[in-house]
Amino acid sequence: MAIAHGQRVLQAGEPPNSARAAMILLHGRGATAEDIMTIASEVQAAGWVYFAPQAAGGAWYPNPFTAPIESNEPYLSAALEMITNLVERVEAQVPAHRMVLLGFSQGACLALEWCARNARRYGAIAGLSGGLIGPDGTPRDYPGNFEATPVFLGCSDVDPYIPKRRVEDAAQVLESLGAAVDLRFYPGMGHLVSEDEITVMKRLIAAI
C-alpha cells in the first residue's frame, strides 16, 4: 500500500474491509515501519487492522522537534499530509472513534502535532516519548475538540531527546482541547518503550 509522496505502508492484522478497529503507528528517527509494528504485535487484538507508514530515509523531518518549524519544511508538511491521507483511507472502513494513533519519539511528535491540528473524537492517541512540534513559545491555538478522547503520554524523566517540560506542555495543550490525558514519567528510563506503556496501550485498546 502506498500513499502520498510514495511512502510504503506496512499493514497487519484484519483486512481493512472487515476490521472493527484500526491503529496507525509512526516510527522514530532512523527506524522502520517494521520496528514500530513490533508494538502492534505486543498489543494486538482480534478484529484490528494495523498500519505503519515508512518515512523516506528513516526520518519524517530532518531537525529536532524543538527546532523552528520552518527548518523542518517541506518535510514536516509532507509528513502531516501523509497522515491526513492515511487517516482518510482508513476511515473509509473504520470510524475515527475506533481508531488509535500511536507514535514513538519522532513519530510521537508527529502524531501529537497532527492530532492537535485535527482534534476530534478518536479511539485513543498515544505519544510515547514525544511532544508538540516547534520551539518553546510556539502558539498552540489549535481549533477543534477531542471530546474526551483518551490520550496517553509516556516518557523517561531524563530522556536525552525529549525534554520533560515539553511532554508536560503537550499534556496541557491537549487537555485544553478536551482530551482525557494520562501523563506518566518513568524515572531513569532510557529512550525506549516500557512494559508499563504496553500495559496502558492494551487497556486503551480493550476499552475500544
Half-sphere exposure of 171 (CA within 13 A, CB side): 16
- Reported pTM: 0.95
Contact by Cβ (8 Å): 57, 29:
no
Task: Decide which of 1 and 80 is more confident.
Answer: 80
pLDDT beyond 70 at 59: yes
Residue 61 has pLDDT above 60, yes or no: yes
Q: Which structural domain, as residue segments, surrounds residue 114?
A: 4-207
Gap between the Cα atoms of 21 and 5, Å rounded: 26
Asked whether the predicted pLDDT for residue 3 surpasses 70, the reply is no
Number of domains in the chain: 1
User: Of 8, 29, 9, 11, whose CA–CA distance to 130 is shortest?
Assistant: 29
Query: CB burial class (10 A; 0-12, 13-18, 19+) of residue 65?
Result: buried
Kindly report the average pLDDT of the chain as a whole number. 95
- Kindly give, in sequence order, each residue whose CB lies less than 8 Å from that of residue 65, ignoring residues fewer than 6 positions away: 106, 109, 130, 131, 132, 133, 134, 166
pLDDT, tens digit, 9 for 90 and up, residues 164-204: 999 999 999 999 999 999 999 999 999 999 999 999 999 99
Helix residue spans in 16-74 (DSSP H): 33-43
Residue type, 48: W
Q: What is the pLDDT of residue 89?
A: 95
Element spanning 156, H or E: strand 150-156
- What amino acid is encoded at 148 in this protein? A
> How high is the pLDDT of residue 6?
53
Q: How many helices (H) and strands (E) does the chain have?
A: 5, 7
pLDDT band, residue 13 (cuts 50/70/90): very high
- pLDDT for 120: 98
What is the per-residue burial (b if ≥16 Cβ within 10 Å, else e) of 143-170? eeebeebbbbbbbbeebebbbeebbebb
| Confidence bin at 113 (pLDDT 50/70/90) | very high
The pLDDT-based confidence of 97 (bands split at 50, 70, 90) is: very high
8 has pLDDT over 70: yes
Q: Read off the pLDDT band of 151 (50, 70, 90).
A: very high
CATH code where residue 98 lies? 3.40.50.1820
DSSP one-letter code for 105: T
Give residue 2's pLDDT band: very low, low, confident or very high (50, 70, 90). very low
pLDDT of residue 4: 45
> DSSP character for 101?
E
Residue that the C-alpha cell 522537534 belongs to: 65
The arithmetic mean of pLDDT across residues 58-83, rounded, is 96
What is the predicted pLDDT for the residue at 7?
72
